[in-house]
Amino acid sequence: MKNILTIATGGTISCEPSADGLIPALSGETIISLVPELKTVCRISCLELVQLDSSNLTPSDWVKMAKAVAENYDEYDGFVITHGTDTMAYSAAALHEMLRQLEKPVIFTGAQLPIEAPKTDAKDNVYDAFLAACSSVPGVFLAFNHNIHDGAYVKKTHSEDFIGFSSVNAPVAGKVENGAITWQKEYLDRHSENHFTPHYDLCEKVFLLKLLPGLSPKIIETLGALGYRGIIIEGFGAGGVPTDEGKNDFLPAIKKAIADEMTIICTTQCQNNGTHLDKYPIGILAARCGAISGENATCELLTACLMLALAEKNSPAEIRNFIADRLANPMQL
């Protein structure tokens, strides 16, 4: 039997009622004890990392999770991270970027209902997560509603429905049926060319800016004055920004920000089909100013990628090349 480490971080899965609503309270060991079928799947150890609603998690907690995996890497065959659903896609994307050249599975899971609630989805999700952790398929994944999502492509798309998450611009990595996972072939063939290398440095001065019709481009100057070093602009349609010189032309603001060594990524507000800055003037002109295309990446992955690039690379060109390389193939380990 394989040895799997559970890293508990709180979330709805661990919640109990309180005067202020549901609050994380159950330990990882308690969660595991409520899924007795796991005794026949693997040997399990538990690490209590934090006990938080995932809306209260910050990038410093991503570092704690990454370090928990790295510090126990040689002792275990795989890892399951129990986590709140609200920001689990952000954490999965972050660890996908931070845990490079993984040779083992790291599986996030959680639930839309506490594990002790009637008709909870938690027990199935936990069981599926351990199946994935025992699979030897390397990488960061998220197990939910009998789907295994690649951490690079996953997004929370349902606030309460048991579906919970979707794979965006990619098929699900695997499906669980009758206690077994059917993986997409490319994941079965996946392997790392190099040794596992964790990265912990993150620059948190990243802002996600959702455009609204009529929004003033002065917001970019304001964000620069506040010390932000990178902005992900969620533009309209294919990812463009307003360019009407008579109204709210964003091009001068983007050009000045880039001249001041701020990194600008343009992405789309649309969930599917990705960013295409080469289609209309609103995208082509932004790219000519130096904006980077978000390609098919989720905002969660762009956030993690940009935070790492700003922390690890010294020049705008290095930052740009790092992001372009990571976005060219999000499946890379």
The residues that are catalytic are 12
Residue pair 229/311 in contact (Cβ under 8 Å)? The answer is no
Which structure tokens are listed for 101? 């050249």
Beta bridge partners of 252: none
> How many Å apart are CA 84 and CA 213, to the nearest integer?
33
> How many Å apart are CA 54 and CA 87, to the nearest integer?
6
Q: Where do the H-state alpha helices sit in 176-273? A: 185-188, 218-225, 251-259
> How many Å apart are CA 326 and CA 298, to the nearest integer?
13
SS3 280: coil
> How many Å apart are CA 121 and CA 110, to the nearest integer?
9
